[in-house]
């Protein structure tokens, strides 16, 4: 049995190598024939990465106004008002994230999958905004 297993591994490795090589050659040929699609995909990837960098940097700007904001929240008479201010700040950051995404995407989208990805991106950006703002608020007195 061990000899058959070794032969199977050898043959399987050769077959897998041929299939992978053929797939790479076919992909390269497709890219050669559809160069405009490849360039358009590159533009989309570039815009997505740019949006991610902007979204990652945006909540850190709240560092500059976190102490005055916390002082304003402390002066409010109700906990609901203080919570509304926190939700408002995170909401404004999320709206800015959405405006940036639609601006980079020329204010429109065409397919259902794109909308699904947008909604996931907005949800991730909102969660990120919440985590960063809460972390900055905890560490504002240091």
Give the tens place of pLDDT for each residue, 3-14: 777 787 788 888
Same domain as 87, residue 109: yes
**Res. 142 pLDDT band, cuts 50 70 90:** low
Task: For residue range 61-113, list pLDDT tens digits in order.
Answer: 887 877 777 778 777 777 777 777 778 888 888 999 888 888 887 777 667 77
Same domain as 59, residue 25: no
Same domain as 55, residue 22: no
Evaluate whether 126 touches 89 at the Cβ level (below 8 Å).
no
Same domain as 79, residue 24: no
Give the pTM: 0.65
Provide the domain count of the chain: 2
User: CA–CA distance from 70 to each of 38, 90, 105, 115 (Å)?
Assistant: 49, 14, 35, 36
Closest CA to 92 of 133, 137, 120, 52: 133
Same domain as 127, residue 65: yes
Same domain as 51, residue 25: no
Same domain as 67, residue 133: yes
**Res. 1 pLDDT band, cuts 50 70 90:** low
Same domain as 23, residue 49: no
User: CA–CA distance from 38 to each of 24, 33, 109 (Å)?
Assistant: 15, 10, 19
Same domain as 83, residue 49: yes
pLDDT of amino acid 136: 80
Same domain as 82, residue 29: no
Q: Which domain holds residue 88?
A: 41-138
């Amino acid at each position: 049995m061990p000899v058959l297993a070794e032969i199977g591994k050898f043959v399987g490795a050769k077959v897998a190598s041929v299939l992978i090589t053929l797939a790479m050659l076919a992909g390269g040929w497709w890219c050669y024939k559809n160069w405009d699609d490849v360039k358009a995909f590159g533009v989309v990837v570039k815009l997505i990465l740019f949006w991610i960098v902007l979204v990652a940097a945006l909540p850190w700007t709240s560092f500059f106004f976190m102490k005055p904001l916390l002082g304003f929240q402390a002066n409010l008479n109700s906990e609901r008002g203080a919570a509304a201010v926190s939700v408002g700040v995170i909401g404004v950051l999320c709206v800015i994230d959405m405006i940036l995404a639609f601006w980079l995407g020329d204010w429109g989208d065409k397919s259902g999958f794109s909308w699904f990805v947008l909604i996931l991106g907005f949800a991730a950006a909102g969660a990120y905004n919440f985590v960063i703002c809460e972390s900055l608020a905890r560490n504002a007195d240091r």
